[in-house]
A and B are shown apart, each in its own frame.
Chain A
């Protein structure tokens, strides 16, 4: 791995001191962002669970306007994406930029303030959805008062990330940095275009769902997906022998994603759009198999984990789900019976929890102990999180893939009345509720685990930058960072 710590800035210091100095520079904003993002994760799972229960038992909470299905489902989606995944993703990105560039975080106070505003923005947006102020566009439901604050906070964090990147001491770039820099460009572009063309100055008619689809697929592939791949590129070699299998493959994967990724607007045949637009979108979706294969092959061959390392499981799982996500995307685009069924929802959970979630969880379990001085070994809560999340994904997506298959078959048969379609799906939806319950338990476990690490740290020294038990920590840093 080429991000070896440079000592040019402080030649007399020991490498570990430099690393600790870099890590502690980002400790406060990162601790805040991890804590808040995991809290949002739990909130999101609660909303998702309520939505799922309502699908088979519509009388539950029926008189509560704020908790009707039409409100809880977008609330679950948006709190996951903006509250958890984007926030944890950008926090990890900041950390990786610091470590890979051997540079202290620029303006940590600014980052902390931005993180506070980010969370206030997400909270306002979520309340807005619940009280019916939604914009009505998928993944963009936050009303302007929430989204504006969230986006300003994002811009501050993005600028901090770019300045940190520009001030790096290690000039050589590593694939994780490519993906982070690209994602920091892609996301604001996607988000402002979508908000501008849908909410502030709406385009007319059919253009709206084209812009919405373009944004949604970009959000998954170019923002969350790129952050997830950056995490995998960082931690998989780091936990192994430190060598990336092939830099050429990484370059191929990155540039093919940059070329094809933005064109996949998640469209499918049957949408009331001109055929050429749909065809371009599907062709681009199929072509994203190139970056997928290149990236997965590269990372798969990079895995050389020591057998005892329990952290590897997060990233291996994430990598496998990454491959499944890419293949499912193509299947959804190519098969006319799939869109409009719950298969789409199953694919979303595989992408959000399986690929991005596992990558972020693994990274959080690596980073939080380092900034709090807690024990790096895998605790029981980590195992519980892994098992619950894994079983939750399997239950949920398995049930909905089967249910969606039944639904798709029946939707394509015009002699089946719509009430029969829904009734045929009920058993599958019940099973998916069980999956969401498991996901919720896993989410609470990781939230509890991180909250405890932060609490212990604060109690020990009333400040997260305190080195804690120096000797024990040094020993652990040494073992965990054999790669460097």
Chain B
């Protein structure tokens, strides 16, 4: 340990090893990722953002939104629902249902169609779902299974499934974030599709969300005298937040781009590595920060589920 060259070569060798292991090898695996067409879909995923939203991404980066908002949904696991959409053997299926502890099986069968699937069991483990599905299928019934991702983030409405590497393919720079001082924005576009809401929220977050600690981004807006006709873009503000009479608040061009970007933030495509069958329900505007109510939304109004992942080969998490 008394030669500079020994230190240099040793450090060089150990560091090269880590560079190969932590940069080069992952690049071989992740760097070759391509957009792919999920099973049952017609378009490759992910898609490039439209131009305005892509410009809005730059505004998002420049304003440092990432300091408080992450874009990664974490998931704790899955639960499964087994549905009934029809049967070729009413009696056999009714028996099978009775064996599963469902007394009014015939009623269930009669109301089960492709468009109105009836839940047989909800929120069960994969093994149990497989068992029930097999029992029903053996009796001649069509019994699809729903993959329902669960987790705190998903329950809160921050996303429909966990984020995976594929989701970030076209992001640059990726704004995944490491702090959740504000809500996660992975799905803000689905949660809150209303552009006016976003503009109001940027102008003063406390208009719609009382007690919010988000800064008011008033430099994104221009306060100006109303001309002959009011600007069509001018914000419609509640009286206590409105500017003085004769003035209007108009968003600057980059603000509109930022909002376009926020609206484009939605991750709802099921992937092989992140399967889900529950078609997402877009929540009504206005309660973006409220919890989603239930993490296993009602299956009754869901269209015929298409399972995009082989049920026997589901990643556990």
Which residues of A pack against B, CB within 8 Å? Answer: 54-56, 58-59, 62-65, 68-71, 73-74, 132-138, 165-166, 171-173, 177-178, 181-182, 185-186, 189, 193, 197-198, 202-211, 214, 247, 251, 255, 258-259, 262-263, 265, 270-274, 277, 280-281, 339-342, 344-345, 407, 411-419, 421-423, 426
Closest B residue to A208 by CB, please name it: B174
Task: Decide: A68 and B22 in contact? CB cutoff 8 A.
Answer: no
Rounded to whole angstroms, the CA-CA distance of A56 and B214 in the bound complex is 9
Q: How many A-B residue pairs have CB under 8 A?
A: 225
**How distant is A170 from chain B, measured CB to nearest CB, in Å?**
10
- The residue that A181 contacts in the complex, of B7, B170, B171, with Cβ under 8 A, is B7
Task: Decide: B22 and A272 in contact? CB cutoff 8 A.
Answer: no
Rounded to whole angstroms, the CA-CA distance of A186 and B7 in the bound complex is 12
User: Which residues of A lie under 8 Å from residue B164 when comparing CB positions?
Assistant: 272
Closest 4 CB pairs of A and B: A70-B64, A414-B155, A262-B18, A132-B62
**Residues from 1 to 39 in B contacting A, C-beta threshold 8 Å:** 1-4, 7-8, 10-12, 14-15, 17-19, 21-23, 26-27, 29-31, 33
Instruction: Determine chain B's interface SS by DSSP, over half rule.
Output: loop
Q: Decide yes or no whether B103 CB sits under 8 A from chain A.
A: no
User: Which residues of A lie under 8 Å from residue B178 when comparing CB positions?
Assistant: 138, 339-340, 344
**Residues from 137 to 178 in B contacting A, C-beta threshold 8 Å:** 151-156, 158, 162-178
Rounded to whole angstroms, the CA-CA distance of A177 and B291 in the bound complex is 56
Given the interface pairs A173-B1, A178-B7, A272-B163, the reply to whether A265 lies near B175 with Cβ below 8 Å is: no
Task: Decide: A185 and B15 in contact? CB cutoff 8 A.
Answer: yes
- The residue that B179 contacts in the complex, of A65, A189, A263, A344, with Cβ under 8 A, is A344
Given the interface pairs A173-B3, A272-B162, A340-B180, the reply to whether A258 lies near B213 with Cβ below 8 Å is: no
Task: Decide: A265 and B165 in contact? CB cutoff 8 A.
Answer: no
Task: Decide: B212 and A419 in contact? CB cutoff 8 A.
Answer: yes
Given the interface pairs A64-B219, A272-B168, A414-B295, the reply to whether A209 lies near B183 with Cβ below 8 Å is: no
User: Which residues of B lie under 8 Å from residue A54 when comparing CB positions?
Assistant: 215
Q: Decide yes or no whether B55 CB sits under 8 A from chain A.
A: no
Rounded to whole angstroms, the CA-CA distance of A132 and B62 in the bound complex is 4
User: Which residues of A lie under 8 Å from residue B169 when comparing CB positions?
Assistant: 204-205
Name 10 extra pairs, CB < 8 A, besides A58-B205, A58-B213: A55-B213, A58-B216, A137-B173, A165-B4, A205-B30, A206-B168, A255-B14, A262-B14, A262-B15, A344-B179
Q: Decide yes or no whether B67 CB sits under 8 A from chain A.
A: yes
Given the interface pairs A182-B7, A265-B22, A274-B26, the reply to whether A412 lies near B15 with Cβ below 8 Å is: no
Q: Decide yes or no whether B43 CB sits under 8 A from chain A.
A: no
Closest A residue to B220 by CB, please name it: A65
**Number of residues in B with C-beta < 8 Å to the partner?**
79
Which residues of B pack against A, CB within 8 Å? Answer: 1-4, 7-8, 10-12, 14-15, 17-19, 21-23, 26-27, 29-31, 33, 61-68, 70, 72, 74, 151-156, 158, 162-183, 205, 209, 211-219, 289-292, 295
Task: Decide: A419 and B64 in contact? CB cutoff 8 A.
Answer: no
User: Which residues of B lie under 8 Å from residue A132 when comparing CB positions?
Assistant: 62-64
User: Which residues of B lie under 8 Å from residue A214 when comparing CB positions?
Assistant: 22-23
Rounded to whole angstroms, the CA-CA distance of A309 and B267 in the bound complex is 61
- The residue that B72 contacts in the complex, of A255, A265, A272, A415, with Cβ under 8 A, is A272
